[in-house]
Structure 1
Amino acid sequence: MTNNFSLAASTIAHVYKARWQIEIFFKWIKQNLKIKTFLGTSPNAVMTQVWTAMCYYLPLAYIKYQTKYRFSIFYLHRIVREMLMERISLIDLLNLNETGLARLRCQEPPLLFQV
């Protein structure tokens, strides 16, 4: 790109700025959406993986925003992942402190088939 002397310097600067924005976007995706590698190389595969991760991340961000949750989205993700099969509402789960969470983690798992 910089070897093309027919383009104006401002045009080349805009192209590099746009490219840098794309790099920043993919860095954000890898850091926040926990996508380490893309499973495919086609545009459809990459977009499907990004949309799937966004469908998980955005509700967590919205929950954090609406409930004024004081911890990070990553911590919220960890709690939801750990307590996914527990019979506790999300609001109650978010209002628990570390002691309550530790107590909930140590409970015996329920029996699936009681006779």
Structure 2
Amino acid sequence: METPFQQSADENPAIAAAVITHDERALVVRRRVGEGTLSWQFPSGAVEEGESAEEAAVRETQEEVGLRVRASALLGERVHPSTGRTMQYVGCELLSGSAYVADKEELAEVA
């Protein structure tokens, strides 16, 4: 049962972050609008209904930076101290593509 102070998973879905490494480097993106004090982060987004964290990480990577990746492992999760949202970190292997700002509304650059 929800109390007035709790939000349901639909109102506050978990966030899946894709941790993509290649040639001993990790891909990060800079958001156009900072989230708290954080502007550089892994490609990420809300886990949609019926979707796993791994599926969300793969989808968000394609949408945000144009890369095809395969989820290899759920690395861990935590509750974000500022937002209270569950963050799920997914290790991903690069399949194809070159990273670029595919979602120009959300991202300013990739590195």
Higher relative contact order (CA 8 A, sep 6+): 2
Under a length normalisation based on structure 1, what TM-score does the superposition of the two structures give? 0.25
TM-score (norm 2): 0.26
Higher strand share: 2
| Greater fraction of residues in helix | 1
